[in-house]
């Protein structure tokens, strides 16, 4: 873990699960003095203040960033570009700006367009942690313990800014990896965005079943776990779909080709092919689980 | 809960998660004297004996059922027909026979063919409980606490036999519902069999990804939960696919139509349609979770 100096004034635009948890972790590590929270509604900001996440609250992003040495943008992806454009002229000349969005190529494009000369100090980030809850009430400081954070800086990104953001993630228990935005978007389409589509679609399909109430009445524990991610925030996930559209469509197409093949094997009663697929999937998953636990 | 007399001699063919847990629950309730366990391998039966699930062990189903007043068949679905045909001539004249298979029309057909005059005392059952583990080592007596069991007797099924099986499920904490086998198979295709196909397929798709190791390395908690059911027993699930093939193919087709529609909305960047689907799915799931908790 690199040594990292404290943040004097942190502007948090979007005081929700992710931004709120990062700040709580930084407070636990003694790494932040003052936090100004910004959101659209005072209700959530009041909760954040009561929970000790933020010191000051405002609904004006420009006011929030003034004098801040670190600006964290933790809003749904569709709001990142507009927020950056709004605050640009109020940023301190050496402010480090970072985000937590679940897709990265779109955020880099937004930052390049919105931030002008500040874009060299914009460090795109994505913590691989979270759950289906939202808002300041859901934040907790342990969220990033032993989790990964991916940073996707460009060659032109200020290395001091990158180191600073990396250090602040490590300080809350995360390990930091770097990769290109395009690669990040491909990997996350597979492991996160695609499963969310599958879960949302499953619940939607079942809600259209003719005997739907009975269908849900006989759903067991496996179903509950399987669809938990379908309780995720619709606005956030709409924005992820739009931001990572190309990679997500590729992932959905590959998946549907695979599922059609299995459907055909089931229809044909091809016992060996079906068992093969199940066995291979189980082995793959268990190998993966073992690496996680080791 | 109906009052129910104890089982004198219970023959358990297939001493695994489901059969073993039912017996442990019956022992906890003081409702069984002697249990004879039958399986293909002595290793699992030894475990079952050490864990106090069974008193005697045999690999011969005919020996197992002799003198038993209750015969529980808890093997993968493909083995149900062969097991019933094997034991038929050794069944006591008033033995009640039941199974726990995850599909029911196929089991009814198997029983009609294999059991002859005994088929009137065959009570098809399916506990809506379980997990991805297998074998006697995985059994535990609380598995059915507050869970549902579906019985699918026919008009010709002996009502005393049905009452007896229902009472023995209630005695281990379950609530019992009755419906037709066809209806059971349609409902379970939707809530259980389809999600298993989706999870197996997802892991399979990702295992074919070009940067597969990295894909799995960045999978988060949501992915682990989502794919937990892909660690289920391949043989058991192969048999479920074959046994409930027609209903499962219908369910997969409906699902793929729904997923294709979402894929098209993502491709087109149709923000409103995407958000609508997510919102509707989340609301449906939360309404369903609320009924479970109440
Ligand atoms: N949840 C996860 O599992 C997860 C994981 C990794 C990354 N992420 C990413 O993290 C970001 C935030 O997600 P989250 O889960 O923390 O969401 P969240 O809990 O809903 O928090 C987002 C906050 O942003 C505020 N907000 C929304 N639009 C805004 C705008 N235009 N201007 C200012 N504030 C705005 C909201 O408050 P008001 O409604 O009061 O404005 C809300 O409290 C997203 O980009 C997401 O892709 C999420
Ligand atoms: N797991 C679930 O979530 C769940 C839920 C509801 C219903 N079910 C149904 O319950 C049944 C059993 O599932 P389970 O989860 O209990 O499986 P399990 O733990 O694998 O137990 C099945 C047992 O049957 C034995 N067996 C397999 N083939 C046999 C044969 N031809 N003759 C005699 N014994 C045989 C196996 O032992 P040997 O290998 O030593 O023979 C094994 O211990 C299945 O029909 C399934 O559809 C399962």
**Residue B1 has what pLDDT?**
44
First and final CA of chain B: distance in angstroms?
20
Tokens 């379950």 belong to residue: B174
The verdict on the CB of residue A105 being under 6 Å from ligand 1 is no
- How many residues appear in chain B? 294
**Residue A1 has what pLDDT?**
44
What is the 3 state secondary structure string of A16-33? Answer: CHHHHHHHHHHHHCCCEE
- The answer to whether B125 and B188 have CB atoms below 8 angstroms apart is no
Q: Read off the pLDDT of each residue in A191-219 and give the average, rounded to a whole number.
A: 91
CA distance B20 to chain A (A): 19
d(CA A280, CA A276): 6
3-state secondary structure of A132: coil
**Residue A215 has what pLDDT?**
86
Residue A230 sits at the chain B interface (C-beta within 8 Å): yes
A4-63 pLDDT per residue, tens: 899 999 999 999 999 999 999 999 999 999 999 999 999 999 999 999 999 999 999 999
Residue in B129, B187, B281 nearest the CB of A214: B187
Q: Please name the residues in contact with B84: beta carbons below 8 A apart, sequence gap of 6 or more.
A: B73, B97, B110, B111, B114, B115, B122
> Residue A197, CB half-sphere, CA atoms under 13 Å: how many?
35
CA-nearest residue, atom 3 of ligand 2: B130
> CA B163, B167, B168: angle at the middle one, nearest 5?
120
Give me the DSSP letters along B2-17: ---PPEEEEEEES-SH
Which residue stretches of chain B have pLDDT < 70?
Answer: 1-3, 293-294
> Residue A227, CB half-sphere, CA atoms under 13 Å: how many?
30
- The answer to whether A154 and A108 have CB atoms below 8 angstroms apart is yes
Q: Which of B14, B43, B80, B192 to mutate to test the pocket of ligand 2 (most atoms within 8 A of CB)?
A: B14
CA-nearest residue, atom 37 of ligand 2: B39
- The residue in chain B having the minimum alpha-carbon distance to the alpha carbon of residue A269 is B242
CA-nearest residue, atom 46 of ligand 1: A101
First and final CA of chain A: distance in angstroms?
20
CA distance A133 to chain B (A): 12
- As given in the structure block, the two tokens for residue B47 are 């475990």
The verdict on the CB of residue A41 being under 6 Å from ligand 1 is yes
Taking the centre of ligand 1 as the mean of its atom positions, its distance from the CA of residue A20, in whole angstroms, is 10
- The residue in chain A having the minimum alpha-carbon distance to the alpha carbon of residue B187 is A215
**Residue A259 has what pLDDT?**
98
Distances from the Cα of B156 to the Cαs of A89, A254, B120, B122, B176, in angstroms?
Answer: 81, 48, 6, 10, 19
Residue A150 sits at the chain B interface (C-beta within 8 Å): yes
Beta carbons of B258 and A205 less than 8 Å apart: yes
Q: Please name the residues in contact with B227: beta carbons below 8 A apart, sequence gap of 6 or more.
A: A195, A285, B199, B202, B203
Question: What letters, b where the CB count within 10 A reaches 16 and e where it falls short, cover B187-212?
Answer: bbbbbbbbbbbbbbbbbbbbbebeee
Beta carbons of A282 and B234 less than 8 Å apart: yes
CB-neighbour burial class of residue B145 (10 A; exposed 0-12, middle 13-18, buried 19+): exposed
Give me the DSSP letters along B73-119: E-S-HHHHHHHHHHHGGGS-TT-EEEE--S--HHHHHHHHHHHGGGG
d(CA B231, CA B59): 27
Taking the centre of ligand 2 as the mean of its atom positions, its distance from the CA of residue B274, in whole angstroms, is 41
**Residue A226 has what pLDDT?**
87
Backbone angles phi, psi at A211, to 5 degrees: -105, 55
Tokens 């964290």 belong to residue: A72
Distances from the Cα of A131 to the Cαs of A154, A167, A192, A195, B23, in angstroms?
Answer: 29, 23, 12, 13, 38
**Is the ipTM beyond the 0.85 threshold?**
yes
Distances from the Cα of B146 to the Cαs of A63, B175, B290, in angstroms?
Answer: 54, 7, 16
**Residue B3 has what pLDDT?**
64
Sign of CA dihedral B143, B149, B152, B158: positive
**Residue A294 has what pLDDT?**
56
**Residue A225 has what pLDDT?**
84
Residue in A195, A245, A271 nearest the CB of B202: A195
A251-284 pLDDT per residue, tens: 999 999 999 999 999 999 999 999 999 999 999 9
Residue B219 sits at the chain A interface (C-beta within 8 Å): yes
A143-171 pLDDT per residue, tens: 999 999 999 999 999 999 999 999 999 99
Q: Read off the pLDDT of each residue in A211-227 and give the average, rounded to a whole number.
A: 83
Q: Read off the pLDDT of each residue in A197-209 and give the average, rounded to a whole number.
A: 95
To the nearest whole percent, how much of chain A has pLDDT over 90? Answer: 89
Residue A145 sits at the chain B interface (C-beta within 8 Å): no
Q: What is the DSSP letter of B208?
A: T
The verdict on the CB of residue A25 being under 6 Å from ligand 1 is no
Chain A residues inside the 8 Å CB shell of B149: none
d(CA A209, CA A215): 8
CB-neighbour burial class of residue B88 (10 A; exposed 0-12, middle 13-18, buried 19+): middle
- As given in the structure block, the two tokens for residue A247 are 């990679």
A123-143 pLDDT per residue, tens: 999 999 998 899 999 999 999
**Residue B210 has what pLDDT?**
82
Domains, chain A, in order of start with CATH, read 7-179 (3.40.50.720), 184-293 (1.10.3660.10)
Taking the centre of ligand 1 as the mean of its atom positions, its distance from the CA of residue B258, in whole angstroms, is 28
CA distance A19 to chain B (A): 18
10 Å Cβ neighbour count for A215?
21
Sign of CA dihedral A40, A43, A46, A47: negative
Beta carbons of A207 and B292 less than 8 Å apart: no
Name the strand (E) or helix (H) holding A149. strand A148-151
Distances from the Cα of B208 to the Cαs of A101, A190, A256, A285, B227, in angstroms?
Answer: 27, 11, 13, 13, 16
Mutate to test the interface with A, among B131, B190, B194 (most CBs of A within 10 A): B190
Beta carbons of A242 and B274 less than 8 Å apart: yes
Ligand nearest to the CA of A11: 1
């Amino acid at each position: 873990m690199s040594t990292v100096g404290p943040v004097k004034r942190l502007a948090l635009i979007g005081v929700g699960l992710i931004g709120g948890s990062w700040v709580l972790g930084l407070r636990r590590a003694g790494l932040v003095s003052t936090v100004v929270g910004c959101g659209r509604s005072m209700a959530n900001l009041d909760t954040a203040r009561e929970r000790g996440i933020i010191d000051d609250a405002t609904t004006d992003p420009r006011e929030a960033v003034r004098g801040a040495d670190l600006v964290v943008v933790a809003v749904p992806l569709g709001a990142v570009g507009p927020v950056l454009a709004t605050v640009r002229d109020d940023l301190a000349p050496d402010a480090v700006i970072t985000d937590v969005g679940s897709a990265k190529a779109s955020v880099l494009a937004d930052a390049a367009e919105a931030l002008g000369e500040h874009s060299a100090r914009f460090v795109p980030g994505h913590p691989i942690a979270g759950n289906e809850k939202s808002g300041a009430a859901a934040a907790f400081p342990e969220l990033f313990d032993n989790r990964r954070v991916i940073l996707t800086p460009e060659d032109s990104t200020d290395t001091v800014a990158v180191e600073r953001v990396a250090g602040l993630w490590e300080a809350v228990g995360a390990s930091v990896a770097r990769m290109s935005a395009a690669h990040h978007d491909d990997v996350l389409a597979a492991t996160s965005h695609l499963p969310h589509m599958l879960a949302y679609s499953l619940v939607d399909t079942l809600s259209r079943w003719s005997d739907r109430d009975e269908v849900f009445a006989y759903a067991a524990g496996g179903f509950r776990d399987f669809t938990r991610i379908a309780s995720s925030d619709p606005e956030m996930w709409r924005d992820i779909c739009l931001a990572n559209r190309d990679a997500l469509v590729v992932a959905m197409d590959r998946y549907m080709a695979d599922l059609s093949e299995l459907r055909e094997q089931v229809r044909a009663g091809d016992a060996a092919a079906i068992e093969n697929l199940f066995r291979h999937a189980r082995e793959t998953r268990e190998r993966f689980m073992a690496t996680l636990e080791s």
